[in-house]
């Protein structure tokens, strides 16, 4: 009997970033990272293995992908088939409720959902730690989207030692993010290509690894202490150091737009006026503002001077992976 398995995974935004691989095949990062899973952005994926199919059939947001566009997903399914002994092609239906390739962690939720649905459909029955290892092979940050709340990805040194674990879920204190969605089009250079260029050419990369590892220790303490100010300060500094690496690469590149700088300045102005808020950015132009829920109205009112209301999305700490089966 064939079973359709559906998994839902939420995006996560790194507070201490991973930016650079030490093993591209195993997707092992140069340094560990800590993130917050968000409730607002998610991917839902259904998978069934079917002996009647001649090749994998991938549907993404209602569109059937060509073999070339589905290649990355099929390679991941090959890994599942290899580990499970499943030989059939798969039908995959994915709905992505995240702007794709815009720096809002669409690949994280996407491959977390795919890993969960495909492995269960292949009867692998993985626990969440093993699932985070598997998801990592599709997209590094997907390893963190298996879990809800605050999550740490241990860099590790091989496949077994590189996995994520939950630091705090549920999150029982007042912390959230406001996403300023500036651009929904594809970014100028992919995360994979960008970080590879940085590792190969930035003279500052060794210092990044050292300071990021120090940030991990401080961020764990801030989360445990429920200290929004320290958490925000670490996240903001860590993000800007990551983007400074991009400017120091050869050739240099960056993900900022004029609107990115406008949002950053708005956060600086709010903070100068006594509002506890901080920004972070991933590989894209969008700005995520770390703040307390009780300051939402004041922050969005200030941001509405520069951005439309639909560009401002309030996201709270979100849940871990959910899986359901339908025979």
For the chain (327 residues), the mean pLDDT of every run of 10, in chain order, is: 90 97 97 97 97 96 93 97 97 87 76 98 97 97 98 98 98 97 78 95 98 98 98 98 98 95 98 98 94 97 96 96 91
Asked whether 29 and 201 are in contact (CB, 8 A), the reply is no
The answer to whether the CB of 117 falls within 8 A of the CB of 76 is no
pLDDT of residue 187: 76
Distance of CA 61 to the CA centre of its chain: 19
Give the model's pLDDT for residue 185.
60
Contacts of 53 (CB under 8 A, 6+ apart): 88, 89, 90, 91
Sign of torsion, CA 117 122 126 132?
Answer: negative
Q: What values do phi and psi take at 35, rounded to 5?
A: -135, 170
pLDDT at residue 38, rounded to an integer: 97
Give the pLDDT of residue 162.
98
Domain with residues 4-171, CATH architecture: 2-Layer Sandwich (3.30)
Domain boundaries along the sequence of the chain: 4-171, 176-315
Buried b (16+ CB within 10 A) or exposed e, 147-182: bbbbbbbbbbeebeebbbebbbbebeeebbbbbbbb
Residue 301 CB neighbour total at 10 angstroms: 9
In the numeric block, the tokens 């969008």 are attached to: 286
Specify the 3-state DSSP secondary structure of 315: strand
Question: Residue 183 has what pLDDT?
Answer: 67
Task: Give per-residue burial for 110-134: e unless 16+ CB within 10 Å, then b.
Answer: bbbbbbbbbbbbbebebebebbbbb
pLDDT of amino acid 100: 59
Phi, psi of 12 (to 5 degrees): -130, 150
**Sign of the alpha-carbon torsion through 301, 260, 146, 6:** positive
pLDDT of residue 106: 86
Is 176-315 in CATH node 3.30.70.260? no
Chain centroid to Cα 121, Å, comes to 24
């Amino acid at each position: 009997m064939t079973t359709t398995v559906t998994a839902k995974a939420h995006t996560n935004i790194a507070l201490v970033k991973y930016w650079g691989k030490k093993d591209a095949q195993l997707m092992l990062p140069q340094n560990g990272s800590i993130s917050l899973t968000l409730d607002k952005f998610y991917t839902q994926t259904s998978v069934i293995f079917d002996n009647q199919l001649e090749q994998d059939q991938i549907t993404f947001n209602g569109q059937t992908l060509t073999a070339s566009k589905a290649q990355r997903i099929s390679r991941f399914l090959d890994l599942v088939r290899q580990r499970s002994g499943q030989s059939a092609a798969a039908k995959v239906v994915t709905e992505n409720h995240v702007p794709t390739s815009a720096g809002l962690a669409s690949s994280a939720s996407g491959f977390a959902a795919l890993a969960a649905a495909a492995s269960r459909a292949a009867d692998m029955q993985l626990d969440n730690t093993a699932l985070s290892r598997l998801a990592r092979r599709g997209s590094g940050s997907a390893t963190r989207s298996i879990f809800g709340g605050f999550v740490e990805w241990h860099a590790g040194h091989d496949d077994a030692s590189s996995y994520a674990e939950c630091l705090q879920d549920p999150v029982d204190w007042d912390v959230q993010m406001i996403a300023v969605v500036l651009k929904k089009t594809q970014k100028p250079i992919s995360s994979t290509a960008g970080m590879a260029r940085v590792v190969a050419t930035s003279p500052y990369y060794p210092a990044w690894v050292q300071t990021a590892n120090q940030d991990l220790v401080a961020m764990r303490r801030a989360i445990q202490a429920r200290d929004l100010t320290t958490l925000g300060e670490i996240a903001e500094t860590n993000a800007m150091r990551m983007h400074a690496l991009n400017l120091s690469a050869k050739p240099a590149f960056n993900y900022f737009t004029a609107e990115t700088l406008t949002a950053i300045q708005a956060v600086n102005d709010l903070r100068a006026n006594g509002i506890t808020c901080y920004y972070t950015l991933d590989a894209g132009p969008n700005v995520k503002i770390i703040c307390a829920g009780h300051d939402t109205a004041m922050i969005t009112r200030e941001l509405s001077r520069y951005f439309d209301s639909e560009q401002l999305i309030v996201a709270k700490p979100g849940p871990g992976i959910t899986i359901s089966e339908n025979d």
